[in-house]
Structure 1
Amino acid sequence: MWRFAGLIIVIAFLLSGREPAAIPDFAPPVQGGMQLTGTFGELRGNHFHAGLDIRGAVGRPVYAVADGFVARIVVKGGGYGQALYLDHPSGHTSLYGHLDRFREDIATFVKRRQYDLESFELDEELNPAHFPVRQGDLIGYIGKRGFAFGPHLHFELRDRETQDPLNPMSFGLDVADTRPPFVEAIRLYELDERGNPLRGESQQVRRLASHRYTTAEDTLWVNGPSFGLAVKAYDQQNSLNNWNGIYQMALRQDDSLRFAFAFERYGFDKTRYLNAHLDFEEQQQGSWFHRCFRLPGNQLKFYRPSEDGGRLQLAPGEASRVTIEISDKAGNQCTVEAVVKRRARPLTPIYEQAYVYQLPYDEESVIDNGSFRAHFAPFTFYEDLYFQYTLVPEKSAGIYSAVHQLHDHLTPVHRYFDLQIRPNEIAPALRKKAIIAYCADGNNPYSFGGEWTSENRLRARVRALGNYSIMVDTIGPRIRPERWSGNMRGWEQFSFRISDNFPTAGDARDLRFRAEVDGTWILMEYDAKTARLYHVFDGIISRGEHRLKLTVTDDRENTTLWEGTFVL
């Protein structure tokens, strides 16, 4: 297995045109064995998982995997929360995310920089002399900061030059695994001549043995000459029953390899193409299918080169046996087989869609009806889009334009596109509070912000299809004391919850906050997933009576002030 992993690395470097570095000897970032709750390349919302999620209780020590130095420190309320980036002589970067705390000297440095900058958020690049490390040195402790919904270490290995994430399990960081992946279902798609899916239908599978599956129906039928498949599959390691991601897949038609991929490395600039790799509409409804064919606008580089991109062909009346092989990093494999046959004469008419505009995926498109304007750059979509549009006159209070129904929210959008909406009557005093509001499938609206153009249109960059209109945000954020008292003698911290009436997206800014005690800035830490804002007493605030002033500001510059007196 080690030789096979090494071969993959060498081939990847040769294809990239760069000389491969020697495969380094990385040590595990935790002691006592690794249990994985997430694997490299797993399908996540709008991105592939860039590393390993290693289970552990809050406070479990984390160690440097190789000699090097701390090259970057990031602190933020979302994302990886508290994270360390270590650079290594081998040409790699290791990342340790969701840390509860850093080791003492790093933590002291971080707090000093936060007070110097008067900012909770920090993104600091360091030179090698600041914090050199040896393999096995303590660097921090496992936590659940940032967007982590349970304590774990998010661990990555990257190519230091490109920052492309690499599969850590190709560098000797293995876990015990003798269990093959398993299959939940497959999907069958009919495709047009450009490879655009016309329709898809899920097919149940039945298990023949621990590692073999077939479809519940003996034969799957298609009407046209071209079709594709997708598979819903997961993997498990020996020590946990988590449904983790698969490592690789190969599609064969009558024993001929037609499509394959393996999760070894990718570029962060390509990670959103996950929405083309999977069936986005199914994912939005809770099912995660790997496509075994390439959508026309999918620019991921880890697929096996193929002229037809996994699009399979059948003549009228012809049948073929299709096999999907799914493997994990330890080499365990399962297969699912299906017999697919093309009808001699289609039972249904040629598939047609009602649409208002046709948007080729690889061409620039502009829609302007006077009331709204949308500009789509080439490759905004992954396939040709038969775009549906409806203008709904709106008289509801709080909405200052028609509602523009742009297709539907189940269609993925890769690139931001420029959207402009003309308002109905809006008072001059409200113009600076106006926002492009987005609503999908009856959910609460959120704000993409916006600025006015010389043509009296509100303009914003957006990256979703659904219902858009102009609304105004005149309401300040909400500040709710969570843990607060006038007498906090003996307390370890105080805390608040902050929220706003409009969640933000695109260029709209998140909530900003500032806290002062007796007129001097103090550090308030923020957990974005719970909207919790808190201060840990650390000796900076002296004993006695003090006054706290907390301000929170939203994207439209609405500000809320909270003040209170306390004794420490």
Structure 2
Amino acid sequence: MRKKIVLLLLLAFCQKIASQSGYPKDYFINPLEIPLVLSGTFGELRSNHFHAGLDIKTQQVEGHKVVASADGYVSRINVSLWGYGNALYITHPNGYTTVYGHLQKFSPEIDAYVRKKQYENERYSIRLYPKSKELIVKKGQVIALSGNSGSSGGPHLHYEIRDVKSRTMNPMLFGITVPDHKNPTIQNAYAYALTDSSHVNQSANDVKIVFNRQYDGDLLANKIYAYGKIGFGINSYDRLDGALNRNGLYILDMSVNGERVFQFAADKFSFDESRFINSYIDYDKYINQKQRVQKCFVDHDMNNLSLYKRITDGGYINVKDSMEYTVSIIARDFTGNKTKLIIPIQGKKDSVAIPKKEKITNRYFKAKLPNTIKDSIITAYFPENIFYEDFYFDYSFENGVAKLHNSTVPVHKNFRLTFDVSSYKTEDVKKMYIAKKNKYGKLNYVSTKRKDNTLYTLSRYLGDFTLASDNHKPTVKTIGFANGQWLTKFKTLKVRIHDKGSGIKSYRGEIDGQWIRMAYDPKKGILTYDFSDKNLEGTLHNLKVVVTDNVNNSTTFTTTFNKKN
């Protein structure tokens, strides 16, 4: 007996050690020297992707000290106008890499390294991979200041932990803790009839479920009457302490008659699977109602999300006539707070009063096969496996607008759309581009390539496309100084650039004929040069800024200023 107890204790100890080695709890420290309050959680549902880290609030300002979470070396540096903006990647001896995004500026040592490379290459946006001994950092060392660079919607720090396979991991698994005493909120729930013979409350379409809160805090739905293969989904969010942001769930469970048939857990994923979010959610509701409904079923075999943990029969329920079922859907956050929705089901084979809504066209796309549309002007090629299901495709070309179905159908990979422009003059074609037309009629430039007598683009979005022309040059204006002005007390030099047509493709700044590092904030349209970058010889200086748009209209702006070192 005693040997058995010792063996059990030893086994428990080994399991604990194994768990700790999987996710070292005391290895990483918080990357900011202020209390952690989140605006975004790991695995949160975002546009076309799952959120890959934690978004940490910086009290609505930039400039907080960002520190290395552990010893290591800077293995990658990104300076980008979009995405993570200014970002650092630190590789640690335990094999993990931490990522720090949307930074305002790097520490002096790191910035000197970046500045040298930027001047060597004469380009601001740059991606660098320092060697392991070039930029060594210590745990708690200041590596940057927090900011709002890239695609950030406001000042914050984006923080990630990645493993040796570059999979992004939930930082909370490593002991990064954030207070949370609030239960998740389930706003809406839906039942889906998933075959031609199934129905819910006599409807072949999805049905909104009515529910009420009980005294014990659980949510109880009105009984639904269903038959055949059905599924469920919920629109839910979680709030953490200290913030009003609607964050994502950590775990979503569904059980039928007490047996778990579905689980989603936001612990880790690979970036190449992130776009499967558009299959995980009810994409139609996201586009039309701005609801991200998480489906508790997997509706096609192409979706291989590793965030699915326990799936039985795809998460579907085959409801039989006269049988009763109880479905429990539980939304949990990382600290264990939870909200349960209970849905009673009565199996009832009935007539369908509300038939399935579907527009029948003369084109039926098979998702597992390539599909092509071709007429005198338009060629659209859709490779196999870029759609999640078969459907009737709605196409027309009228008044110069190519209608490629609509935006409610997600596209997993690029398709190719080509316009024949042989009927246009060569000089006119040089200023033309392909634009996507939004629901308000606004035209937005999409990356356009030229080949022979065609213009083409690669896109992952359906909708309305047309040809547009841009004959306007970009504009360049100084901010806060005039031609010939003395700028001795100025720390920075700023100009505003803008293009009202195809958008800005590139820019170049020079002082006295030499390239200068001008940081570009595309959200504000401002170029900024920091005078501390280099010493200027003499007092009178010539500034030259060349800005080019996406159809190669170019503006060269020149002015002078005076400055003493």
Same fold (TM over 0.5): yes
Deviation at 1:210, TM superposition (A): 7.4
Residue number in structure 2 paired with 1:174: 177
Match of 1:129 among 127, 133, 139: 133
1:534–1:408 CA distance, 2 compared to 1 (3 A): same
When structure 1 is superposed on structure 2, of 348-357 and 462-471 the one drifting more is: 348-357
Aligned with residue 226 of structure 1, among 216, 224, 229 = 229
Residue deviations 1:518-540 (CA, integer Å, cap 9, x gap): 21111110112222222222153
Structure 2 match to 1:44: 46
- Could you tell me whether the CA contact under 8 Å between 1:190 and 1:200 is conserved in 2? yes
Q: In structure 2, what is the Cα distance between the partners aligned to 1:496 and 1:44?
A: 33
Aligned with 1:64 (options 59, 63, 68):
68
Aligned match of 1:187 = 190
Question: In structure 2, what is the Cα distance between the partners aligned to 1:502 and 1:9?
Answer: 60
Q: Which residue of 1 aligns with 2:5?
A: none
User: Shift of residue 342 of structure 1?
Assistant: 4.9
Q: How does 1:303-382 map to 2 (within 5 A)?
A: 303-306=308-311, 308-348=313-353, 350-351=355-356, 352-382=358-388
**1:264-302: CA deviation from partner (whole Å, max 9, x where unpaired):** 111111111111112222223422221211231423122
Question: 1:399 corresponds to which residue?
Answer: none
CA drift of 1:24 comes to 6.3
Unaligned runs of 5+ in 1: 14-18, 395-401, 505-509
Equivalent position SS for 1:526: strand
Task: Tell me, yes or no, if structure 1 residue 114 matches structure 2 residue 118.
Answer: yes
The CA deviation at 1:326 is 0.9
- CA deviations over 1:81-124 (Å, ceiling 9, x no partner): 21110001111100111122222211222222222221111211
Corresponding residue to 1:409 among 385, 407, 412: 407
Q: Which residue of 2 aligns with 1:75?
A: 79
1:282 aligns with 2:298: no
Q: Is the 1:21–1:91 Cα contact (8 Å) retained in structure 2?
A: no
State the Cα distance separating 1:453 from its structure 2 match. Answer: 4.7
TM-score by length of 2: 0.88
Question: How far apart, CA to CA, are the structure 2 residues paired with 1:528 and 1:9?
Answer: 48
Please list the CA deviations of residues 359-387 of structure 1 after superposition, one character each: whole Å capped at 9, or x if unmatched.
12222222223432221112211222221
Measure, in 2, the Cα distance between the counterparts of 1:483 and 1:310: 61
* In the alignment, structure 1 residue 252 sits paired with structure 2 residue 249: no
Q: Does structure 2 retain, via aligned residues, the 8 Å contact 1:195–1:311?
A: no
Matches of 1:276 and 1:10 in 2, distance apart? 34
Report the CA distance shift for 1:288/1:484 in structure 2 as closer, same or farther (over 3 A): farther
- Post-superposition offset of 1:7: 7.7
Distance in 1, matches of 2:197 and 2:268, equals 28
Greater Cα shift, 52-61 or 338-347: 338-347
Return the alpha-carbon distance in structure 1 between the equivalents of residues 127 and 364 of structure 2: 44
Q: Distance in 2 between matches of 1:334 and 1:492?
A: 54
CA distance in 2, matches of 1:102, 1:240: 28
Partner of 1:55: 57
Once residues 88 and 130 of structure 1 are traced to their aligned partners in structure 2, the CA distance between those partners, rounded to angstroms, is: 14
| Structure 1 residue 211 displacement after superposition | 4.4
Note if contact 2:507-2:545 (Cα within 8 Å) is conserved in structure 1: yes
CA contact (8 A) 1:553 1:560 kept: yes
After superposition, the Cα gap between the structure-2 partners of 1:84 and 1:459, relative to the gap in structure 1 and judged at 3 Å, is: same
Compared with structure 1, are the counterparts of its residues 286 and 105 closer, same or farther at alpha carbon in structure 2 (3 Å cutoff)?
same
Answer whether contact 1:77 1:528 (CA < 8 A) is retained.
yes
State how far apart, in whole Å, the 2-side matches of 1:259 and 1:522 are: 56
Structure 2 counterpart of 1:479, one-letter code? V
Alignment of 1:240 onto 2:238: no
Pick aligned residue for 1:460 from 457, 464, 489:
457
Gaps of 5+ in 2: 1-10
Give me the whole-angstrom Cα distance separating, in 2, the residues matched to 1:9 and 1:150.
40
Superposition RMSD in Å: 2.9
Match of 2:442 among 441, 444, 467: 444
In the alignment, does 2:513 pair up with 1:511? Answer: no
Deviation at 1:559, TM superposition (A): 1.0
Supply the distance in 2 between the matched residues of 1:566 and 1:543 (Cα, whole angstroms).
11
- Equivalent residue number for residue 524 of structure 1: 518
Three-state SS of the structure 2 residue aligned to 1:225 is strand
Match of 2:8 in 1: none
Please report how far the alpha carbon of residue 303 of structure 1 lies from its aligned counterpart in structure 2 after TM superposition: 0.9
Pair 1:272 & 2:275 matched: yes
Identical aligned pairs, as a percentage? 29
Q: Distance in 1 between matches of 2:254 and 2:310?
A: 13
Aligned to 2:7: none
Which stretches of structure 1, 4 residues or longer, exceed 4 Å deviation after superposition?
A: 6-11, 19-24, 193-198
SS of 1:484's equivalent?
coil
- Residues 69 and 133 in structure 1, CA contact (< 8 A), matched pair in contact too: yes
Q: 1-side partners of 2:68 and 2:417: how far apart?
A: 46
Provide Cα deviations, 1:416-453, integer angstroms capped at 9, x if missing partner.
00112234731121223332221132342123343455
**Preserved contact between residue 409 and residue 440 of structure 1 (Cα < 8 Å):** no
Residues 1:269 and 1:150: Cα distance change in structure 2 (over 3 Å): same
Report the AA paired with residue 497 of structure 2: I
Paired residues of 1:22 and 1:90 also in contact (CA < 8 A): no
Deviation of residue 71 (structure 1)?
0.8
- Cα gap change, 1:203/1:561 in structure 2, threshold over 3 Å: closer, same or farther? farther
CA deviation string 1:196-216 (max 9, x = no partner):
99733444543335742233x
* Greater C-alpha Rg: 2
Structure 1 CA distance, aligned partners of 2:334 and 2:117? 41
